[in-house]
Amino acid sequence: MSVTAPAGFEAAGVVAGLKSTGKPDVAVIVNRGPLKAGAAVYTSNRAKANPVLWSQEAIKGGVVEAVVLNSGGANCFTGAFGFQTTHQTAERAAELLGVGAIGVQVCSTGLIGTGDEAFRAKVLDGTEKAIAALSADGGEDAARAIMTTDTVPKMSVLRGDGWSIGGIAKGAGMLAPGLATMLVVITTDAVLDSAQADAHLREATRVSFDRLDSDGCMSTNDQVTLLVSGASGVVPDETAFADALAEVCRDLARQLQADAEGASHAITIEVVNAASEDDAVEVGRSVARNNLFKAAVFGNDPNWGRVLAAIGTTEADFDPYDVDVLMNGVRVCSGGGPDRPREEVDLTPRDTHVVIDLRVGTATATILTNDLTHDYVHENSAYSS
Amino acid sequence: MSVTAPAGFEAAGVVAGLKSTGKPDVAVIVNRGPLKAGAAVYTSNRAKANPVLWSQEAIKGGVVEAVVLNSGGANCFTGAFGFQTTHQTAERAAELLGVGAIGVQVCSTGLIGTGDEAFRAKVLDGTEKAIAALSADGGEDAARAIMTTDTVPKMSVLRGDGWSIGGIAKGAGMLAPGLATMLVVITTDAVLDSAQADAHLREATRVSFDRLDSDGCMSTNDQVTLLVSGASGVVPDETAFADALAEVCRDLARQLQADAEGASHAITIEVVNAASEDDAVEVGRSVARNNLFKAAVFGNDPNWGRVLAAIGTTEADFDPYDVDVLMNGVRVCSGGGPDRPREEVDLTPRDTHVVIDLRVGTATATILTNDLTHDYVHENSAYSS
């Protein structure tokens, strides 16, 4: 059900011919109200695709009537023609739905530089087709239509006290920081205004998608959109809603990590006893981005020296010679020197847990990443994205 | 000849049993004077190995009598015992050479965490053995003794007007910024004081090793040492010497790039028409560190979208929608959109040339890097370093 689990939403995913495989490639999610509030966060990359350039202006009204998403082409660096394509997509959807174009968010994913006349025609036709196919149980179809190299659709549902939250996500590569690179649509039938939606979405993404750093590469097309229908008629407890939204985001982030391109390990890097949360994030991210460490995990090699070499490049507050490192429960390094023998560490399970104890404070943060594998290199050398 | 090409130097490389392969693993380079000036630059990683901790203090006197280097163990995160090992190495060399220990620089490379009693005994024995084997044509032996995963020794010689410069380098992985991770020893018989040596060395490394970024990972053990014998008796023209030293450093940097672990392409990223040199370096480095771009080059895919996605993450002054990108001479992107068809780009040659024209100023910088390959993943998952 995903995005159609909360009351007040319809969705569809259809084949528009953008993917050479003939798989679904255009999705539409519509907010039937009664509220039409919304919020979104976008890639912090300065190189933004046309759909992002459109959507970040359109969101300023705080109204989201619908989201149109396509895979099979990023419509990025496609110039004025590409921007017009996005605008026409929003206008076509708005016309068919009887709403204003400014209420339509547009998202694209695929190869940068793709956005010619054939692309435009297919996206517009696909938008029509998807709107004709809208249904109250179309959430999974929408989730499938936004897949690129994803092997499984990503969906999440969480029910609160009289309200619920649903979400879909795509993104198996280019997961990164700033905003952890992917397309996500989240819906809720709770009663919120757009300012509340915006505040909750920013906090939830900060502690979830922003802490997923699969390969350090930031996309041009990232977008996370929250649509609020208010159809439950229930004003949620603020804390309960915030917790639930963060949990849906973390659930989707973990699904993205689990399906990351070519990965053989899902690595959880937990930084503890940092002087500040920012320090903990910086330290965790430095390890998540260290190719040597990531290749070692692929080889089931508990190479804690590469952890210390990575965190030594940060400006976080700690003493590099008074740090503990645990890998899958074994303290391989303590006080800046070897502790338990590396042979005691079993890195064969897919889930890998690294704890870095900075021993200077009480703050903590967890970063999710993946190992660097032959399959990652293969997928990203053979697949143009 | 390398480091023994300039007058006033002797070198040796011997087998000390640190490498399981039985290959040479301890090198000594001695400055016979008459000057004993020297300078060095060290890794900017806060996680510094014991030899770096020793050497960066010892260099403060501006005197370098000798450098002792070992492969087969980094002596990093080996605690007080490891620091004593380094100190004893300097003292042993000093005693045998009849000089002060403070004049002995020590460098180590290999697995972090390696530095036990067996390591100490072998390093000390190797130091004795190397000093006994010192000769005026031992430069190549020294170059071979510092190799780890290097497939060839790296050596360079440049002759000026009555003086000369020689150098050796090791480092096929962990090449990175700040200081481009490796061990380098450079000798000259020109007449310079230690302040001049320091100034020239910093400028030369800034435009050479610091612009080599093979895999974005910064080592704990990097060191570039310049030894000045003054044995030519010639005071060099300052500009001529600076140019020559930079050229030797660039030559060694290119040799490191050419032998980078598992690489199938040597990629030169030339950033032109930047607002400042710092901007040009930042932009070039962002591309050099982008795994998706590097994997695309491995696959001979001229994926310019990944170049723009990478540079969009920087804070350099330029308009992402007004940038030109050339790959091996073909302008694949201009003014933020597709230009020539990607099929025109031939990425099969090992040497790959990317030009990024920022169109805002006159500054330029060139960054050297490598592609991301199956062999890189294999070497770094199977080899503990």
Check residues B320 and B177 and name the one with the higher pLDDT: B320
ipTM of the complex: 0.80
Nearest one of A309, A290, A323, A316 to B48, comparing CA atoms: A309
Smallest CA–CA distance, residue A289 to chain B, in Å, is: 9
Closest chain B residue to the Cα of A114, Cα to Cα: B338
Instruction: Tell me which residue of A112, A18, A101, A96 sits closest to A55, measured CA to CA.
Output: A101
> Do residues A181 and A50 lie in contact, with contact meaning Cβ atoms separated by under 8 Å?
no
* Residue A172 confidence (pLDDT) above 80: no
Q: Would you state the pLDDT for residue A176?
A: 47
Strands A363-370 and A266-274: antiparallel
Test B311 with A220 for CB contact under 8 angstroms: no
The residues with which A269 forms a beta bridge, in sequence order, are A354, A367
Q: Pick from A196, A265, A277, A274: which is nearest to A237 by CA? A: A196
Q: Across the interface, do B295 and A48 touch by the CB < 8 Å criterion?
A: no
Choose between B211 and B87: higher pLDDT.
Answer: B87
Cα gap B326→B335, rounded to integer Å = 12
Is the pLDDT at A177 greater than 50? The verdict is no
| Chain segment B6-23, per-residue pLDDT in tens | 999 999 999 999 999 999
Neighboring chain B residues of A336 at a CB cutoff of 8 Å? 77, 79
Residue B384's pLDDT is 54
The predicted model gives A79-88 an average pLDDT of 95
Residues 6+ positions from A341 with CB-CB distance below 8 Å = none
pLDDT of residue B5 exceeding 60: yes
Query: Chain B partners of A313 at a C-beta cutoff of 8 Å?
Result: 44-46, 178, 218
Q: How far apart are CA A219 and CA A45, in angstroms?
A: 7
Q: How confident is the model at residue A384 (pLDDT cuts 50, 70, 90)?
A: low
pLDDT > 90: what percent of chain A?
74
Average pLDDT, chain B: 92
Query: CB distance B313–A174 less than 8 Å?
Result: no
pLDDT band at B309 (very low <50, low <70, confident <90, very high): confident
Q: Which amino acid appears at position B73 of this protein?
A: G
Give dist(CA B190, CA B241) in Å, integer.
9
pLDDT band at B113 (very low <50, low <70, confident <90, very high): confident
The pLDDT value recorded for residue A175 is 45
- Is B148 annotated in a binding site? The answer is yes
Give the DSSP letter string of A126-151. HHHHHHHT-BTT-HHHHHHHT-SS-S
Contact residues on chain A for B84, CB-CB shorter than 8 A: none
Count of A–B CB contacts within 8 Å? 195
Select the residue of B290, B305, B380 nearest A111 (Cβ to Cβ).
Answer: B305
* CA–CA gap between residue B74 and residue B86 (Å, rounded): 11
Query: Which pLDDT belongs to residue A383?
Result: 56
Q: Are A270 and A377 in contact (CB under 8 A)?
A: no
Is the separation of the CB atoms in A68 and A103 below 8 Å? no
Can you list the domains of chain B with their CATH numbers?
2-258 (3.60.70.12), 266-382 (3.10.20.340)
Per-residue pLDDT at B383 exceeds 60: no
**Is A385 in Cβ contact with B113 (below 8 Å)?**
no
Say how far apart CA A268 and CA A249 lie, in whole Å.
16
Q: In terms of residues, how long is chain A?
A: 385
Q: Where are the beta strands (DSSP E) in B231-384?
A: 266-274, 324-327, 330-334, 337-338, 351-357, 363-370
Q: Does the pLDDT at position B55 exceed 90?
A: yes
Nearest chain B CA: its distance from A25 CA (Å): 21
Lowest mean pLDDT among A139-143, A174-178, B210-214, B345-349: A174-178
Q: Which of A214, A193, A334 is nearest to A269 (CA)?
A: A214
Banded model confidence at residue A181, pLDDT cuts 50, 70, 90: low
Report, as an integer, the average pLDDT of B244-249.
Answer: 96
Q: Examine the pLDDT at A214 and tell me if it is beyond 80.
A: no
Phi/psi at B306 (5° precision): -70, -30
Which residues of chain A are within 8 Å of residue B267 when distances are taken between CB atoms? none
For residue range B214-227, list pLDDT tens digits in order. 777 778 888 999 99
Residue B122, pLDDT score: 98
- Please tell me the distance from the alpha carbon of residue A152 to that of residue B110, in angstroms, as a whole number: 41
> Are the beta carbons of B218 and A111 separated by less than 8 Å?
no
A34 upstream amide cis, omega within 30 of 0: yes
Mean pLDDT over B349-377 rounds to 93
Is residue A282 part of an annotated ligand binding site? no
> Is 50 exceeded by the pLDDT of residue A68?
yes
Residue A39, classed as helix, strand or coil, is strand
- Rounded CA-CA distance A291/B291 in Å is 9
pLDDT score at A179: 39
Asked if residue A99 has pLDDT above 70, the reply is yes
Q: What is the pLDDT of residue A47?
A: 86
Q: How close B264 comes to chain A (CA, Å)?
A: 12
Tell me the CA end-to-end span of chain A in Å, nearest whole number. 29
Pairing of the two strands B9-14 and B26-31: antiparallel
The C-alpha atoms of residue A65 and residue B31 are separated, in whole angstroms, by 76
What is the arithmetic mean of pLDDT over B326-347?
92
Q: Does A205 appear as a known binding residue?
A: no
**What is the rounded average pLDDT of the residues B187-207?**
96
- Per-residue burial over B242-252, b if 16 or more Cβ lie within 10 Å, else e, is bebbbebbbbb
Judge whether residue B2 has pLDDT over 90. yes
- Residue A246 · residue A357 · CB < 8 Å: no
So which residues of B are the catalytic ones? Answer: 181
Per-residue pLDDT at B268 exceeds 50? yes
> pLDDT at position A256, please?
87
A323-361 residue pLDDT tens: 999 999 999 999 878 899 989 999 999 999 999 999 999
With contact defined as beta carbons under 8 Å apart, do B97 and B64 qualify? no
The DSSP code for B222 is: -
Question: What count of other Cβ atoms lies within 10 Å of the Cβ of residue B383?
Answer: 18
pLDDT at A178 over 80: no
Q: Which of A89-103, A209-223, B360-374 has the lowest mean pLDDT?
A: A209-223
* Mean pLDDT for chain A overall: 92
Which residues are within 8 A (CB) of A202 and not within 5 positions of it... i.e. 6 or more apart?
A: A39, A41
Would the pLDDT of A120 be above 70? yes
Tell whether the model's pLDDT for residue A174 goes beyond 60.
Answer: no
